[in-house]
Amino acid sequence: MTKKTTRSKKHFSLDIARDIAEYYGFLPLAEAMKGEGRMEGRTKIPETPFTRPALIEWLLTHAPNSFNSPLLLYRMEAPSKEKSGFPCFAMEIFGVPRSVAEAVLFQISSAILREAGYEDFLFEVNSLGDRESIAKFQREFNIYYKNRAEEVPGHCRNNLKKDVFKVLACSNDRCMLIKEGAPKPISCLSEGSRTNFTEVLNFLEGMKHSYRINDCLVGGKDFYTKTVFEIITEREVSVSSKKGETKQLERGSLAKGGRYDDLSKKLGHKREIPAVGITLLFEGREATPYKNSNLKTSSRKHPVASLVQVGFEAKLKSLEALEILRHAKIPLEHSLLRERLSAQMGGAEKLGAAFLIIIGQKEAMEHTAIIRDKESRSQETIPIERLPQYLKKGHL
């Protein structure tokens, strides 16, 4: 895959990333904990950028009820040599165990990267599975490598005693050859983990994202469980050697992330927190920080419509509808991360938006949506692509 850039400028404002994330319901960390009924007392959130373990520790200590419903946060990370030397934009979703959380992150990340000038990029995905899956993989991987101990380089023999995932991630040529026949994490998945990963792949296919499974993508067993992913670019470059000039693929990383449901328990807490996050790296772009560098207030407008959905296909169509309405600049509230229709409808009623958009299995198959006027109680079924015109014509 050849990397293409449609923008002549390599400058990108993080205000764009913020606006896209906020359209999908993400809030800056400070605001999410204030004025939302989620913060206990008046504990001030420190300005220091959070690591994910530190963020979970802080939330469990100061706002333990935050995870009772979906919690969507974003933040900017300071530039670092480890992350291209440019600012990074990170998003986290808490309280959602289903794979739709990954799908929302995929959708937003893709939109942000396209705004930053990237068109050709690829999702690499893998699944480490739950505790049961990881334990099974470690056992089988250790047996495989011990039977080939004489072939294994010294550094991998040492890592095998500490962390088999470091061995799996090793790019040494000899290790790569040995690993070809080694057990893979996805071959050791429990039934629940396999179902989750299948759903993730179905979302990627349904959203028409280019992807491939990378068996060696791990991210570390002490952090991630289940899905891990990376968004990359690849371009062909010429490499000179004694044998002449050859073509090789040069790889660039645009984003990294994964699910870390088990992290809270690894930190010593009794409670497991469903959590998934992604950090966009903006490699090769000068990312301008936000105009509002403190990130204490959201720029979101009051939504004119709420969107509710039922079923997998309806979620896919809802993601499509969200992008259509975002490009049309129509403020919207969605309930993609809630499963029960009653909870979605209850949230829509509290919000008080003028219109309710409903996408069920029938509508998803017909590429339509039901739109209900809350004041007149009238409703129509219209094609999804006509939603912006309907809402703008006499309604906005």
CATH code at position 271 = 3.30.930.10
- Is residue 87 included in any domain, yes or no? yes
pLDDT at 221: 63
Q: Are 201 and 283 members of one domain?
A: yes
Q: How confident is the model at residue 291 (pLDDT cuts 50, 70, 90)?
A: low
Are 230 and 373 in the same domain?
no
One domain, residues 255 and 315: no
The residue that leads in pLDDT, 45 or 374, is 374
Residue 305 corresponds to which tokens in the numbers above?
């419509």
- Domain tally, the chain: 3
The answer to whether residue 363 is domain-embedded is: yes
pLDDT tens digits, 279-290: 998 765 555 655
pLDDT at 41 over 50: no
Task: Using alpha carbons, list the distances in angstroms from residue 378 to 337, 356, 370.
Answer: 27, 11, 10
Decide if 294 is inside a domain: no
Whether residue 242 is found in the same domain as residue 317: no
pLDDT greater than 70 at residue 6: no
Question: What is the pLDDT averaged over residues 264-272?
Answer: 87
Residue 198 pLDDT > 90? yes
| Of 65-74, 138-147, 276-285, minimum mean pLDDT range | 276-285
Domain for residue 202, yes or no? yes
The confidence score (pLDDT) of residue 345 equals 83
Query: Mean pLDDT, to the nearest integer, of 296-308?
Result: 73
Q: Name, in order, each residue with C-beta under 8 angstroms of 154's C-beta and a sequence gap of 6 or more.
A: none
Helix (H) or strand (E) holding 124: strand 122-127
Q: Give a yes or no: residue 296 inside a domain.
A: no
pLDDT of residue 361: 94
pLDDT higher than 80, residue 300 = no
Helices (H) and strands (E) in the chain, counts: 14, 15
Residues 24 and 119 in one domain: yes
Predicted TM-score (pTM) of this structure: 0.86
| Pair 144, 115 in one domain | no
Write down the pLDDT at residue 85.
Answer: 57
CB distance 201 to 123 below 8 Å: no
In a shared domain, residues 239 and 388: no
pLDDT at 292: 47
Q: Give 280's strand partners.
A: 89, 255
Q: Is residue 4 part of a domain?
A: no
- For 67-108, the pLDDT digits (tens) are 888 999 998 765 555 545 566 889 999 999 999 999 999 999
Q: What are phi and psi of 219, to 5 degrees?
A: 75, -5
For residues 18 and 33, membership in a common domain is answered with: yes
Q: Give the residue from 164, 186, 208 where a domain finishes.
A: 186
* Residue 91 located in a structural domain: yes
The parent domain of residue 337 ranges over 305-392
In whole angstroms, give the CA distance from residue 197 to residue 203.
Answer: 10
Say what percent of the chain tops pLDDT 70.
80
110 pLDDT above the threshold of 90: yes
